[in-house]
Structure 1
């Protein structure tokens, strides 16, 4: 186990589980992860391998014996009638039979219905009435000659959920983890490998949790297929429900006027609408109207009087075009139905607190899933639910003041997101000024993305200066990442190339914000100049040819200093820099390139083998590549120096890209640097 896994198991003993065990026990059982983790938490909440193996077998036996597969339902019903009773794991939904004045249960997989349920059970577990709940229940069969009497009897029912939760203990345990350790624990808890995600991607994953800990939080995520947008809402928590866009009707979401039955928003903490996008879809105008009022006022009225609810609304949809295409031809809401882009639908979009840029999330790969330890999902679900009673939205106000341009609705979006992130990362409400500033930046960016796109949909929306002032009254502008990646399209009106605003002009380099205009200068300017550039995590469109090519052209001797050229991917970075040098030289010229690095203590032979292969390859194109070891320990700087008088200082060296699959020949990121997501890094060009 890693040091973090050991710490997790020690501090949260009995409340964590190894996350890869879910796949081990799931088999062909179509059951949510939180149900499986409930069982694993009972038998495998340990780091003892023998106990884990024994627990896995126990869980497998329970699933084999009690989980109901639809294709075996008839066999299970027969077994219940033969034995008299049997415990089953199934999804149960209860309806009220008004003619008889009784509650009746229907078992999703077992295929039986009209099973009588007593009123106390329904009152205790009200979610049975809407959407259904996964339960462990004891079902009995009693044959009767009476035609209208159901032979099935429900003796007991136990929803899959935590029996108790100690919030003060949770806070005390949180204090034993650093911020980074805690975030990695949370990322592992939702099933992902933190080493495969950038810090920005980790924060984006945590944004997906805010609807569970923040009442009436409105979130949208649009992006390509296969990035795990709906995973959290379908698998993560017994307090959330996922419905497809086609099933999201007024009656199902709010209230059925025929039966008087309250819909999903009255019973669930989170209602996520999947398949929300689709330009050809024509959603019910009355549904849009009701959503608009509910998202603004936390209540709805369908002629039976106002009804209040606390459910957060999440909208999930796939995009059919890349970001620059959408920005050039329309907006980032491009794939939504037209009904949400007209005047009534825009009101729904304007009530969104955050817009997750799903295009930043990579398609899920096997290495992105964790084999480490994380909270039993049900435990974390209860933690988040208990945090709905707290509010940390004004926590940043002792250090920062939002721009006066920001409207009440924009401010609500920012403060609710900030509050949610604080609850998740700093549940005690205590954080440093720098930590709060980071979360405030992220919160503003998500609401700004909503507002900027609404301005493109409807020009009557007023421009807003999104940012904040610190204690010294210094104003900090906040930009979205796509605003910095595609400045030539972001500040334009649809189908034109005329600037819509001057938001990108004269932006200061601060707080990790990339100067988009400087980036464009780097590509377009023929005259080299001294400058400093900063790039954000997940930023794309960056390549060695643009960053280094112009400054290396014409040099006959280049020295690369980087102590961390040891592993394969680091040697590959050097090879790609050599390719940039080759592209910029004349065929008849020769260039000497010397690498100064540190010899690897354990894999020195493999390291030398990398260098020798590069040396041999480069000779054929006029590059004399050589290397020098400096093991003095004094060499920490990373830079490139040319005999033409330029020094390029690199805070991360050549390691500017996040992980990508180097073995996948057909992945663009493997073949084109501009398709890779960057790490946060800075480059300084100095004339010496």
Structure 2
């Protein structure tokens, strides 16, 4: 086991499970992960391999014998009749039959309806009155000649839900982990492999949890298909309800005027709308008006009576165009149905998650390591809803006076939600606070920027804050605006020093003069549009002796990066000149033979384009740089490895650097 898995089992024994086990037990059962992990938590919440194997077999048997498949419903009914009673797992919803003055249960898979259920059960588990809850129950069959009665009897019923253990115990356990470890634990709990995500990508995933820890929080995420936008809301928690955006009605969501029944917002912590986008979708304009009022005031009305509720709203859907197209020709809300394409409605959104930054899920992005039983985490998140962390940023920072009340509320709710998720024990440094505040501001600014494009009456807002101890003012910009601004924003951030020179680059028309300056270029997590040429191509001009120091040039993608640098050097050099290119790297016995073979092949290959390549191994190097004999040194914060993994041979990102997603790093230019 990995060190993190061992540590997690040590501090949260009995509350964690190996995440690959759900695939082993699921089979063809169409059942949420939290149901499977509830069962795995009963039998496999351990790191003992023998116990795990036995537990997996037990859970498999339970699923095989008790889970109700729709196509086997008649067989299950027959078993109940023959045996007298049988334990089953099914999704149950309950309605009040006011004519008979009794509650009646409806079975989603078994197909039974109007089965009487005791009032005491409903008082204890009111969510049964909504759209359905997965339950373990004992169903009996009692033959009767009495007319109008049913032979089916619910003997016992228990919603699948972990009983909450101490929140204080959870917070105490958190103290044993640093920030990076804890974030990785949460990613693994969500079934994801944290090694495949940058810090910003991890934040995007964790922000999907904010509706579960913040009351009345409104989140939207629009992006390409296949990025797992709706997975969290359908699989992670029994306190969230995922519904199709086309199936929403006033009665289902808020209150049924005919029966007086309260809708989903009265029973669930989170109501998520799947497939929310789609310009041609028909939408009830009256529903949008009720939603606007609820999202702003946390209440809705039926006649003269006003109801309050705390359910958060999450809207997820697919975009129709690339980000660059939307920014230039329309806006980031372009894909929404006409009725929701309403600035008053959209202004109630607290955060817009950039779904286009989330990579499409590949097999290697899922984990087989340990994480919390998702139902356990769901109960913890529900308890954390009771806490208020919205003002913790104010200890260190002060938001700009131009930020409106609605903008401020949005920012601090996103900040508070992430603080509860990552720092439930409330121990945060100034840098920790700044990190979350920057991200929260960006999520709200994304909303406001689009509203200003849609409606000129929305005024410009200065999304900045002041550090109380230093007086430094920091302005926040959204990543997509940075990427698609012209010229690239990282060029604008260069701080010029006194040493400059202006080389001439010959073109067919006339020499183009580029002023080289010392300073720094900062690349953010998930930024695109970056290439070696844009970063430091001009600094290579005129250099005939180039030394690259990078300890990690050994794996296939790292060797690819180095060859791409060599290609750039060949493009920048005088066609008649030779350039000496020397690589200093480190290696170990697992990779050294393969690296030597690759470097030897490079030597012959590069010689044909006028590059004399040589290399050496040095196990004591740490810094990363490119030293040039034209007087410049480029200090590479991450070395040549500045991009996240691509999707492989059939991913266009493999071939175009500007299309790849970056890791956060800094590039510094020094004149020697």
TM-score w.r.t. length of structure 2:
0.95
In structure 2, distance between residues paired with 1:385 and 1:70: 32
Instruction: Give the Cα–Cα distance (whole angstroms) in 2 for the partners of residues 446 and 272 of structure 1.
Output: 18
Give the structure 1 partner of residue 361 of structure 2: 364
- Pick which of 579-588 and 200-209 moved more: 579-588
Output the CA distance in 2 between the equivalents of 1:254 and 1:207. Answer: 25
1:430, 1:547 → 2: CA distance? 38
1:636 aligns with 2:622: yes
- Is 1:684 paired with 2:668? yes
Residue of structure 1 equivalent to 2:287:
287
Matches of 2:74 and 2:513 in 1, distance apart? 74
Give the secondary structure class of the aligned counterpart of 1:640: strand
CA distance in structure 2 between the partners assigned to 1:248 and 1:466 by the alignment: 34
Do the aligned partners of residues 489 and 544 (structure 1) sit closer, same or farther apart at CA in structure 2, a change above 3 Å counting? closer
**Counterpart residue number, 1:436:** 433
In the alignment, the residues of structure 1 paired with residue 389 and residue 612 of structure 2 have an alpha-carbon distance, to the nearest angstrom, of: 59
Q: 1:236 aligns to what?
A: 236
- 2 CA distance for matches of 1:177 and 1:394? 24
Q: Any stretches of 5+ residues in structure 2 without a counterpart?
A: 496-511
RMSD over equivalenced CA pairs, Å: 1.7
Q: In the TM superposition, what are the counterparts of 1:278-427 in structure 2 within 5 Å?
A: 278-341=278-341, 345-427=342-424
Structure 2 counterpart of 1:616? 604
> Shift in Å at residue 621 of structure 1?
1.7
- The separation in 2 between residues aligned to 1:530 and 1:397, in whole angstroms, is 36
Q: Identify unmatched segments of 5+ residues in structure 1.
A: 491-502, 510-523
TM-score (norm 1): 0.93
Partner residue of 1:514?
Answer: none
Task: Show the counterpart of 1:495.
Answer: none
Q: Per-residue CA shift, 1:18-38, capped at 9, x if unaligned?
A: 001111110100000000000
Over 3 Å counting, the alpha-carbon distance change for 1:249 and 1:505 in structure 2 is farther
8 A contact 2:175–2:425 mirrored in 1: no
Pairing 1:594–2:594 present: no
Name the counterpart of 2:57: 57
Answering whether residue 551 of structure 2 is matched by residue 563 of structure 1, we say yes
Q: Deviations over 1:300-357 (max 9, x none)?
A: 013151010010000111001110100000111111122222xxx2111101111100
Matched, 1:461 2:458: yes
> Are 2:162 and 1:165 equivalent residues in the alignment?
no
User: Which residue is 1:39 aligned to?
Assistant: 39
**Greater displacement, 305-314 / 622-631:** 622-631
State which of 628, 638, 658 in structure 2 corresponds to 1:652: 638
**Structure 1 contact 600–607 (Cα < 8 Å) conserved:** no
Deviates more, 1:378-387 or 1:97-106: 97-106
Equivalenced residue count is 655
CA contact (8 A) 1:328 1:489 kept: no
Q: For residue 627 of structure 2, give the secondary structure of its aligned residue in structure 1.
A: strand
Looking at structure 2, the residues matched to 221 and 418 of structure 1 have their Cα atoms a distance apart, in angstroms, of 17
Runs (4 or more) in structure 1 with deviation over 6 Å come to 503-509
Matches within 5 A, 1:177-196: 177-196=177-196
1:537 pairs with one of 518, 525, 533? 525
CA distance in 2, matches of 1:609, 1:572: 14
Q: Hey, what does 1:111 align to over in structure 2?
A: 111
The 2-side partners of 1:147 and 1:361 are apart by 59
C-alpha separation between the residues in 1 aligned to 2:41 and 2:310? Answer: 29
What's the offset of the Cα at 1:507? 6.5
